Chain A
Amino acid sequence: MPEFRRELVELLPRLRRFASVLTRSHDDAEDVVQAAVERALRHADSWQQGTRLDSWLYRIMQNLWRDELRAHRRRAEPLDSHADIAGADGRDVTIRHIQTSEARQALDELPEEQRMVIVLVVLDGMSYQETASILEVPVGTVMSRLARGRAKLAASLGEGPQRMRAAK
């Protein structure tokens, strides 16, 4: 168990980045990560050493977020990605970064299925096969989502200054 806990802690930065891309919200991401960690700790006995802990946690977070979306949908609440992100504990620096990063904004505009592939392949450096396994889709689906997502990102970020001016 101590080893399991240490591995969990080492994973936290990646879990937080994955969750922030998944939820597009700092607060939601923190909630998802915490809930996923709690769940993983409760079910630590079922995890086999040598298997990928990150993949397991990523799947847990996706399931948790799915439940969250259901609840929001029923409440008819807009999932405003960057709303209510005040921070009194130093997190505001990170939050400000999220708000002002053009790359983050371009990524957030992609459909979830494309964001998830991009965070796993581009940011996490996972192989197509690993990504397909985590998302439980065929490798061909990973490839098509990745190509569409990257093409949109390239178009968005390639516009640069024009895009920024248009937004003003």
Chain B
Amino acid sequence: MSERLELNDELLCAYMDGELDAEMRGRVERALVDDAGARVRLERMRAADERLKSEIPLSALQPNDALSARILDGTPLPSASRPPLRVAAVITALAAGIAGVIVGFMFARSQEVPATPFVAAAPAPSLSGASSNRLLLAALDNGESGKSIEEGGRSARIILTFESDDGRYCRAFRSHEAGAAAEGVACRDGGQWEVVAWDGTVDPDEGFRAAGASELLDDVMDRLGGGAALEPADERALIEQHWSTPPQ
């Protein structure tokens, strides 16, 4: 005699979705006979599914769909309607020698953001001297948020720009190069950019970033504090002024 089966919601969902093998499916069906509560839950979830399917249908592609026409005829896509995603074009990439995986931040959560890059297993990109990452530097100096700068097989893209609590302009960026991708934050200090955060765990194939890695970058930006992300016009003005205007 088999043990009584507990019909929890996970099991009921797997039953609904056809994810159980024949034996387990039979056990669930036998258990349902004696479990009125589970039958009610199952029917309510099924009803909710049907509501979702009927009220959120798959819209048919219209013959005059502008985006599909552009995809098919190969004409460039227009800018998206609003600034943050207008950006969103190509993946970012970086200069040589930065294909590393970061292990973690070198500071405790309670500490201030340090002035040096937080890199454990691999060096952050250099932004000064002979070994500087010119592509990233160009993106930091002149790149508008969301637009990629590409060179060869590499690219760099600014995600957003903001002013930190200590009065520096900072830019979150993403880079991509030869199978390696990274994200970071650089802040302008003394007329130069300095990488203050570096995360090399980004999936270069556009997959989800590791949860911890994403949080690291967000955490750094939270710690840097400051104002809202700059609007495109303000950002362009700073670029034209070579970042010479001190933050207000």
Residues of A near any B CB (own CB < 8 A): 5-6, 8-10, 12-14, 16-17, 20-21, 27-28, 30-39, 41-43, 46, 56, 59-60, 62-64, 66-68, 70-72, 74-77, 94, 97, 101-104, 106-107, 118, 121-123, 127-128, 135-136, 143-144, 146-148, 150-151, 153-158
- B124 proximal to A (CB < 8 A): no
- Specify which of B19, B55, B80, B214 is in contact with A103 (CB 8 Å cutoff): B55
- The 25 sampled A-B contact pairs (Cβ below 8 Å) are A12-B68, A20-B56, A32-B88, A34-B77, A38-B77, A39-B88, A43-B90, A56-B206, A59-B208, A62-B208, A64-B88, A68-B84, A70-B221, A71-B145, A74-B160, A102-B55, A103-B48, A121-B17, A122-B53, A123-B52, A123-B53, A146-B17, A150-B49, A153-B52, A154-B41
Do the beta carbons of A147 and B13 come within 8 Å of each other? yes
Residues of chain B within 8 A of A41, CB atoms compared: 71, 77
Q: Given A12-B67, A103-B55, A128-B19, are A70 and B160 neighbors across the interface (CB < 8 Å)?
A: yes
Do the beta carbons of A143 and B14 come within 8 Å of each other? yes
Residues of chain A within 8 A of B74, CB atoms compared: 5
Do the beta carbons of B91 and A37 come within 8 Å of each other? no
| Closest-CB distance, A3 to chain B (whole angstroms) | 11
- B108 proximal to A (CB < 8 A): no
- B44 proximal to A (CB < 8 A): yes
Residues of chain B within 8 A of A104, CB atoms compared: 55-56
Residues of chain A within 8 A of B68, CB atoms compared: 9, 12
Q: Given A8-B71, A157-B47, are A71 and B160 neighbors across the interface (CB < 8 Å)?
A: yes
| Closest-CB distance, A78 to chain B (whole angstroms) | 13
Residues of chain A within 8 A of B112, CB atoms compared: none
Number of A-B contacts (CB under 8 A): 184
Residues of chain A within 8 A of B36, CB atoms compared: none
Bound CA span A29–B228, Å: 23
| Closest-CB distance, A68 to chain B (whole angstroms) | 5
Bound CA span A62–B205, Å: 13
A42-B90, A154-B44 given. 4 additional CB < 8 A pairs?
A12-B65, A43-B91, A46-B205, A72-B229
Q: Given A136-B207, A151-B9, A151-B45, are A38 and B55 neighbors across the interface (CB < 8 Å)?
A: no
Do the beta carbons of A27 and B228 come within 8 Å of each other? no
The 9 closest A-B pairs by CB, nearest first: A35-B88, A74-B229, A147-B9, A103-B55, A154-B44, A31-B80, A75-B228, A31-B85, A71-B84
B56-85 vs A: 1/0 string, CB under 8 Å? 101111000101100110100100111011
